[in-house]
Structure 1
């Protein structure tokens, strides 16, 4: 079974976003020599993989060259455009990782309920579902930390309904700072805590949403990307 990293690295072209699943598909085509074999290796439907390649090519240009059968048999290989796209995706991933290591949002709360490795923590912006150590108990004061690369930022009109996403933690806030880099930017969102909640986005996403200070946004993150530790 394939392993897809839980990250927000995306390269956008119009309404199509190239993400980690797409990168895995192209790399599998390169490794196995055909789209059919790539889909099988990733345990995906060939028809779905084929449709996805068509969608990507409509947005990014030719990515996979198909070879018909013959003396050497049929197959597929990546175009130079596809290799350039993968290289750009890898560079973005490295930039995201570096920025995430330096940007960690931390805010205080107290444990309301514990269910195995997960706990519900009451914080200023609302309740957060987070991973906790086994010895944490209800009523305990904790500090909740969230990596910036795990936070998704969306405009309210574009944000999915709460029951339509696996990100259990969701708050509305106001952009308080935007820091742009060459390919990656950081956005600080005021959700009512002493320090803002930071998110990392590609500059393509910043431009598409036209994010600026004062903009109202919806931020969300998964419980598995959040940690709560007892306060010292």
Structure 2
């Protein structure tokens, strides 16, 4: 298990977690529920009860074979294997999110159109997904959801689905093996203590090919765009 987070898969009113997946995987590996419980250091009765609880909600996950030359055993059903595969996809998405730089902006909801909210932040208005009722929110933008453009080439706002767009300047470029983390300084609406225009930093993850194509280096003017559907707003202090 990775430190810092634990993925959960919600299926109806059942929450499948790491312990459930470890148990089902052990059944598949060990060939029986009893051997799986032993391998994990758990009691058989609790393991049997948990599998039963999951199957009550999700259908048959473990197929039990009784007797026979090998003395019987258990293996996962197709539904059991599908559940493990689905959980693996969710966990991979969690791990990807946990390892990705994120820009966080606080703001206030100005307007809503269904699940899309227009939020006033200190760098301007941001359109983001908002599923709860809230006035004050925190907007999160993942570095890999942002696209950089040459200011001369950027399309008109209404001609693209990436309706969030901000002009900024490259502050730094951290080259890695095949990608680069580019920090973009975006002017904010407020001023610093010395009266100069304050700035917020927006992390952007791009390929090295994009770094070269856009000639990204400190001081370079760029336009950052990102879709509302790739941006999430969550309530500050809970739903209103």
Superposed, 1:1-232 pairs within 5 Å as 98=96, 101-136=99-134, 140-193=135-188, 195-232=200-237
Aligned residues: 134
CA RMSD of aligned residues (A): 2.0
Q: Does the 8 A contact of 2:115 with 2:129 survive in 1?
A: yes
Partner of 2:76: none
Higher fraction of strand: 2
1:134 Cα deviation after fit: 2.8
Partner of 1:69: none
Bigger CA radius of gyration: 2
Q: Does the 8 A contact of 1:178 with 1:188 survive in 2?
A: yes
* Cα shift readout 1:1-39 (whole Å, capped 9, x = no counterpart): xxxxxxxxxxxxxxxxxxxxxxxxxxxxxxxxxxxxxxx
1:100 Cα deviation after fit: 7.5
1:102 Cα deviation after fit: 2.6
In the aligned structure 1, how far is the partner of 2:131 from the partner of 2:143?
21
- TM-score, length-normalised on structure 2? 0.52
Q: Does the 8 A contact of 2:123 with 2:200 survive in 1?
A: no
Gaps of 5+ in 2: 1-91, 189-198
Gaps of 5+ in 1: 1-93
- TM-score, length-normalised on structure 1? 0.54
Q: 1:110 to 1:99 in 2, by over 3 A?
A: closer
Q: 1:189 to 1:226 in 2, by over 3 A?
A: same
Q: 1:179 to 1:172 in 2, by over 3 A?
A: same
In the aligned structure 2, how far is the partner of 1:170 from the partner of 1:229?
20
* Cα shift readout 1:137-157 (whole Å, capped 9, x = no counterpart): xxx221110111110001101
Q: Does the 8 A contact of 1:100 with 1:147 survive in 2?
A: no
Q: Secondary structure at the match of 2:133?
A: coil
